[in-house]
A and B are shown apart, each in its own frame.
Chain A
Amino acid sequence: MKDFIDFLKQEGISADLLQEVQAFSGSQIIPDELKSRIPSPHFYYYGKKVWEEALAVLLCGKNLMLTGEKATGKNVLAENLAAVFNRPIWDISFHVNMDAASLIGTDTFHDGQVEFRPGPVYCCAKYGGFGVLDEINMARNEALAVLHSVLDFRRVIDVPGYQRIPLSKDTRFIATMNYNYAGTRELNEALSSRFVVIQMPRLTQDDLQRLLTDQFSDLSAKYIRQFSLLFLDLQKKCENGELTEKALDLRGMLDAITLVHKGISIREALDLGITNKIFDTYEQGLIRDVIAARIPAKLKPSEVFA
């Protein structure tokens, strides 16, 4: 936690905001069984403006929606926020078959009786957790209607036949969505009006370089720059519709660099981390061209690391 506050100070986040965050994070005692739900993120989100906006939104008790293309750091920021506010997190990945029961909870048998089994939204409400509604626009609007009373001023879950549960004052919901995913639907007005929306900017070369420096302390400056540019080249190709967003895989690139560390040749490692994840041979050709335009074929792994 202290590390995180130090990181945010380095990012230049306003001291007043940080003070409020610290007050919020220490305000409630977290039960032991939920402590494992407080994330300890592997990556930091970089970007002062977005950080300040997100912190302000959550401190005001509003729900946050992060919209942006793939690899803009939506989930990283959501996880970072839960960590900095020191709250347990419930990740809810939305899909087409999502229904109200998967969110709130469902009936089950226990000791010969029908009993309510709480869902992630219910748990968030009860324990003051942060609910990450991942890819919220992948679900049908009908399934999401159950969230209306949870997300607006009522802050309550009403489970028919059981009880009416008010949300803990610390509960927040962070939704993420990508408009460009194939087939995703537009969020209806009733739902989107219940969020404050941050449009996530694309990762810049500086952000990528910082990320790579953080993750691989021995990666040479020359190749930190080349890998960042390689990612941006792929990003530009996706933006212009020449590649699908599947090719834009930051995790894949980080995995590839890890493999190079273990002695795998760089082109092979990038194939394993990025190219081979695309099953379309035409797109594979385009990705290999982007790599070939930047990374020499005969480059030895030892040259990549300082």
Chain B
Amino acid sequence: MKQTSYTALQRQAANQVWNAAGCYDFEPLFLADHAKDSISDFYMNLLIGLAYKYYGEQTICDLFNYWRGDVRESMLDDLTWLYLEQVLYTLERPTRPSMPELRTSYAKEFFAGEYQLSRQEWMSKNTLVYHMQSARWSAVLKSKKRPLLLREQKLYQALTPTKIPSKDKLTGTLLGIYQQFHLFDGKKHEKKMFRFHFTGTAAKVLSRIMPVSRSKNTQITVMRSEQAETLTDKTSGEKKQVSATQNKESHDRAYIENCFGRLIFPEREMKKAERELCTGNHRGCHLWFTDGKFNSVNELSSEFRHLQEQADFQTERNRSYYHKNIQLHLSLISRLTDQIRNSILIHQQPDVLPGRGGNLDTTRVWRAKYLQDDRIFHTKEEDDHPAFTVDLLLDASASRLQYQEILAAQGVILAKSLLACHIPVRVSRFCSVRGYTVFHILKNFTEKKCDRIFHYYATGWNRDGLALREAAELLQLLPSPADKHLLLILTDAAPNDSQRILPSENAPFGSAYEEHAAIKDTAAEVRALRKNGIHVSAVFMGNDGEVTNAKQIYGKEFTRIRQIDQLSKAAGRLIQKEIRELYS
């Protein structure tokens, strides 16, 4: 059960589990994260961690996997934790003085919580579990117990063992109890989904009369991150060939403008850039630089207005995610700022100037006596002018759909940390649709606020090679305030676009922009950028199989992350490396 990322509350809960377990190299199977500063959650997380400590990850995972998916899963989980609570309390009590107090507080919160439950919540509770829990916590508080049926009494005794089961016997003991009380016979009884499957004529007829959803890759859709999990591929549709007729081109241009926003450069300049950049493998492609603003919102058709509404919703979701976990995010900003700032301080060479204080410059002492010039000391002056700038380029293709909120938050964290260190940063997202590689600038070098980064959303394909050419072009059109420049790209090292590579002398049939051809093209673009003095580094997040692609494209200049919330840390490491090289 791999956790992609944690919210602040989940991360705190996971820390409670790891702390009790005494190790940090596993993702907890359970987390109690219902409310901040809740004693119940704290005690529960302590128990989860202790379960890992005494029984190991494998035993715990195997145990709960026995009934994972069973109709009684929830009940069995609760009863198992009740059993484990008794066992773990007995084991840990002698070495952890806080255990009795925490256990009593948990019991009190259990009964206090009863008064806060709604009727629906009461109805959803499993009676047997409730009776068992109630009996346990009454015993802890030494208060009057609710009378139990004879069978319940026996089950309660079985769930309150006096003899501690060993690691090998834990699963067997619990399965034995459940079998004895007819709660679980060892076989999973899964709840089946109610499904009809039609084929042939019936399918054809039904697809005509029933609502059908179909999505094409050349249409933009903005989806929630959770919806992305239902998709099996980058988009649910297959790649479609794009025919390049003049009429279609103007239609596509309008489509891109209405979807992504106005072009920020004059038409003439864009045509010139396209003539220069859309060559070779990118012949027939188009460029689009936008700031996400629209010239005429009122004139948009309902289709595009809906799209904008969806994009606005995503912006709100991004913003809300960031603010919901603000403590964690501020903590990350503060750490990253410290690291970058220290790195600059250590590596930067201050200018030494004559001044009225500092270390005495013996070669200038005579000036004091004969010229009445009291600037006879060496004064060090730190250079405030930025030595380099950072371009953060976020892949915004549909493969990032699941991580939109986290990606936006990570972009903000990185941008805020760099701003705090006076390093100008530009944040952009890129994706490709209908032959256009759209470069959406979310934050300019000069902007002090990072709020527009929340406008990040993922859709379409990613033609990395052309995006890199656009990044270089953007540096010409909107130059950076420093001579040296670091281009950081978040990538899955799997460039892929619906627009094919057109036939040429070397490849008479052309080819799809994917796999080897796309990787080779992107690698060539990275080399070209480096040749022009732009430092290119990548934060790679992808499958094991794509590591080779990342190596082929970026050489040694990439760092791999396994969870998207590690982006800012990884980028921070690359920036520090850059600082070291810059001043060495």
Contact = CB atoms under 8 A, between A and B. Distances in A.
A183 interface: yes
A204 interface: no
B360 A109 contact: yes
B22 A140 contact: no
A290 B202 CA distance: 62
B20 to A, nearest CB: 6
Contacts of B338: 182-183
A114 B97 contact: no
B346 A286 contact: no
Interface in A289-306: 289-290, 292-299
Interface string A257-298: 000000000000000000000011111011001101111111
B15 A184 contact: no
A286 B359 CA distance: 45
Interface size class of chain A, counting residues whose CB lies under 8 Å from the partner chain: 35 or more
A290 B18 CA distance: 10
Nearest to A117: B360
A183 B339 contact: yes
A293 B19 contact: yes
Interface stretch (A40-48, A79-87, A236-244): A236-244
A108 B359 CA distance: 8
Contacts of B95: 225
Interface stretch (B120-128, B189-197, B327-335, B502-510): B327-335
B425 interface: no
Interface string B161-189: 00000000000000000000000000000
A236 B24 contact: yes
A283 B24 contact: no
B8 interface: yes
B380 interface: yes
Given A183-B339, A295-B98, A299-B97, A138 B346 contact: yes
Contact of A182 (B20, B24, B98, B342): B342
A294 B345 contact: no
B331 A185 contact: no
Given A280-B330, A298-B101, A107 B360 contact: yes
B331 A226 contact: no
Contact of B365 (A114, A283, A294): A114
Contacts of A279: 334
Secondary structure call for the B interface: helix
A236 B331 CA distance: 19
A96 B19 contact: no
Contacts of A294: 96-98
Given A236-B22, A240-B24, A114 B101 contact: no
A183 B15 contact: no
A222 interface: yes
A260 B340 CA distance: 38
A18 interface: no
A285 B327 contact: yes
A293 B101 contact: no
A101 interface: yes
B59 interface: no
Interface string A146-189: 00000000000000010000000000000000000111110000
A199 interface: no
B154 interface: no
Central interface residue in A114, A242, A282, A286, by most chain B CB within 10 Å: A282
A285 B19 contact: no
Contacts of A225: 95
A28 interface: no
A106 interface: yes
Interface in A52-74: none
Nearest to A281: B327
A97 interface: yes
Contacts of A101: 359
A281 B334 CA distance: 11
Interface string B35-46: 000000010001
Given A107-B362, A140-B346, A183-B343, A282 B327 contact: yes
A233 interface: yes
Interface string B6-32: 001000100110111011100000000
Interface in A202-219: none
A282 B23 CA distance: 20
B219 interface: no
A132 B98 CA distance: 42
Interface residues of B, number: 44
Nearest to B333: A280
B357 interface: no
B335 A244 contact: yes
Given A96-B345, A114-B365, A292 B42 contact: yes
Nearest to B336: A182
Nearest to B339: A182
B360 A242 contact: no
Interface string A231-253: 00100110010101000000000
A106 B359 contact: yes
Given A184-B342, A222-B97, A295-B98, A280 B12 contact: no
A285 B12 contact: yes
A22 B390 CA distance: 59
Contacts of A97: 350, 380
Contacts of A295: 97-98
A293 B98 contact: yes
Interface in B343-371: 343-347, 349-350, 359-360, 362, 365
Contacts of B330: 280-282
B16 A293 contact: yes
A236 B49 CA distance: 14
B349 A140 contact: yes
Nearest to A291: B98
Contacts of A99: 359
B345 A114 contact: no
B335 A114 contact: no
A296 B24 contact: no
B89 to A, nearest CB: 14
Contact of A108 (B24, B100, B360): B360
A181 to B, nearest CB: 8
B465 to A, nearest CB: 35
B42 A237 contact: no
A298 B359 CA distance: 57
Contact of A282 (B8, B341, B350, B580): B8
A244 B337 CA distance: 13
A174 B330 CA distance: 38
Nearest to A109: B360
Given A106-B359, A240-B24, 11 more contacts: A96-B346, A107-B360, A181-B342, A183-B342, A184-B342, A242-B24, A280-B334, A293-B19, A293-B98, A297-B98, A299-B97
15 contacts: A114-B360, A114-B362, A183-B338, A225-B95, A236-B24, A237-B19, A280-B334, A280-B335, A281-B331, A282-B331, A285-B327, A293-B42, A293-B46, A295-B98, A299-B97
A-B residue pairs, 7 tightest by C-beta: A183-B342, A240-B24, A282-B331, A282-B327, A183-B343, A182-B339, A296-B101
